[in-house]
């Protein structure tokens, strides 16, 4: 009897710890690589490669033509692929702030965008930086870092909890979009160049 008591206590302790541990996040789940872009569409890949603000999740959206489509949540060392029609698009990232990326993409090409963090008032803020098809660019698909980042980041996609999360937060997201989009629209075109994805940036 006395020999079984420690085992029983251990089992009880392990059970209590398991009930206290947080549930697995089902909003984003592992995904297979997207493969090559189809002949009638482009693929835009959003990734995070910096540890700054690593505990903060960045959410990304397609807000082209006044729409607001939830693409997914991008965490540190993760990436997700989004298939779009060729032409002009406007993407948004939301954290403490809101920021935007103009894009013009061509069918049959894949484009890469890094979600770049900076320190905010209460938590990390995020912005977009496109990877250029130019070896002299800061973020370039021709530099060794690009291949390293692709290898070190995991492909993810929206899981069963993603749509519920967005439904619960849609009003807050829309409020931030309206606030920060007004500021984005006030910026001169040449000030947006470094946050514009050009047709030739695709590979």
pTM: 0.84
Question: What pLDDT is stored for residue 3 in this prediction?
Answer: 41
Question: What pLDDT is stored for residue 54 in this prediction?
Answer: 53
**Greater confidence, 3 or 158?**
158
The C-alpha atoms of residue 200 and residue 85 are separated, in whole angstroms, by: 16
Question: What pLDDT is stored for residue 21 in this prediction?
Answer: 32
Question: What pLDDT is stored for residue 9 in this prediction?
Answer: 41
| Residue 23, H or E segment | none
Q: What rounded mean pLDDT belongs to the chain?
A: 85
| Cβ pair 180, 99 in contact under 8 A | yes
| Cβ pair 120, 98 in contact under 8 A | no
Residue 77: count of CB within 10 angstroms of its CB: 16
Q: List domains and CATH numbers for the chain.
A: 24-187 (2.60.40.1120)
């Amino acid at each position: 009897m006395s020999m079984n008591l420690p085992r029983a206590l251990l089992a009880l302790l392990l059970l209590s710890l398991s009930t206290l541990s947080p549930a697995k996040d089902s909003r984003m789940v592992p995904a297979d690589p997207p493969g090559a872009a189809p002949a009638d569409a482009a693929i835009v890949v959003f990734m995070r490669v910096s540890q700054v603000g690593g505990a903060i999740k960045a959410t990304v959206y397609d807000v082209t033509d006044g729409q607001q489509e939830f693409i997914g949540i991008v965490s540190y060392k993760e990436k997700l692929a989004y298939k779009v029609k060729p032409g002009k698009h406007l993407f948004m990232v939301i954290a403490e702030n809101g920021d935007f990326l103009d894009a013009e993409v061509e069918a049959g090409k894949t484009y890469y965008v890094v979600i770049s963090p900076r320190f905010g008032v209460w938590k990390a803020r995020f912005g977009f930086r496109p990877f250029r098809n130019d070896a002299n660019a800061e973020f370039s698909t021709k530099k060794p870092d690009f291949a390293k980042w692709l290898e070190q980041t995991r492909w993810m996609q929206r899981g069963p909890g993603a749509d519920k999360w967005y439904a619960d937060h849609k009003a807050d997201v829309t409020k931030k979009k309206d606030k920060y989009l007004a500021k984005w629209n006030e910026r001169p075109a040449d000030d947006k160049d470094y946050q514009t994805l050009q047709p030739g940036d695709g590979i």
